[in-house]
Amino acid sequence: MKTSDFYFDLPEAQIAQVPLKDRTTSRLMVLDKVSGETKHQHFYDIIDYLQDGDCLVLNNTRVIPARLFGARPSGGKVEFLLLTRKDEKRWEVLVKPGKKAKVGDQIIFGEGLLKATVEEIIEDGKRIVSFEYEGIFEEVLDQLGEMPLPPYIHEKLEDKERYQTVYSKNEGSAAAPTAGLHFTKELLAKIEAKGVKIAYVTLHVGLGTFRPVKVEDVLEHEMHSEFYIIEEEDAKIINETKLAGGRIIPVGTTSTRTLESNADENGMIKPGSGWTNIFIYPGYTFKCIDALITNFHLPESTLIMLVSALAGKEHVLAAYNEAVKEGYRFFSFGDAMFIK
């Protein structure tokens, strides 16, 4: 299986740069994974495709303002992207320019409000650093940090909350679980009133979201590990739905990967936490999920490979080419797809 098998021609102008004013007014393409038939709707119509007894699974991770701009004592500018917290003061970070961050170097942020000392060199610009600060780290970060928008988005985000889902709760992501950005609290309340159960998982989205597939043989691509949590109450909701014959419908590829990493051969979920680097591509047999709400992804990405595993590569590429033709908006702030 080749990476180029998942290529389609996407005009750069169709990569959405800003979120819509009303989250629910994004367009929604409904794709039948068996027939390949498509319908064009708006996201607020999603309620018409959900049934009493279904379970919607949402990733409640919260994006931290993980991009920091600092300087070395010599004055050279340095940029950090926080990746993984190792303990209270130590983080794995991505540094630009990486060559300027040697072991023992100190970088200063916000005129000294935050200082970082490089402790270890990992690879590819990645470092382990130790931070020094007064007070609470999250408050310092909120003051100095910026939202780490994907490199494909060039516009500055006016309202930080528009890169958060309305149900975001557990801080730790370097990127948003963007399929969830279309929901409002009002829409979720209507969905629950229809008899749809809602369960939550947490997967802290990491560097892998930004990482392109650089190998031609798909099987040679290595996924970045990400931390997940499934609470006992949520595992119970998912399992009861499954046993009752209801559909499990994750919102986004992150929720999908969390469920599929944890499910047994019968699709049952056990509560707990851990790390996953599951890579889902065509040929994969899904154990837990039945349908999927997702955004439109970039060509040759691991995300389009995942949706192709669910709906078939031919159906997905045909739908994507139709979306391009119809002027759909792609990627993080773009339109949505419901695969049923």
The reported pLDDT for the residue numbered 208 is: 66
Domain 3-63+159-339: give its CATH code: 3.40.1780.10
**What are the mean pLDDT values of the chain's consecutive 10-residue runs (340 residues total)?**
94 93 96 97 97 98 92 87 86 84 89 91 87 91 86 79 94 91 97 98 81 85 89 98 97 97 95 94 96 96 95 97 97 96
The reported pLDDT for the residue numbered 210 is: 61
Domain ranges of the chain: 3-63+159-339, 67-144
Question: Same topology for domains 3-63+159-339 and 67-144, yes or no?
Answer: no
The reported pLDDT for the residue numbered 331 is: 93
The reported pLDDT for the residue numbered 86 is: 85
Torsion angle in degrees (nearest 10) through CA of 179, 184, 188, 190: -130
From the options 2.40.10.240, 3.40.50.720, 3.20.20.150, 2.60.40.10, give the CATH code of 67-144.
Answer: 2.40.10.240
The reported pLDDT for the residue numbered 50 is: 97
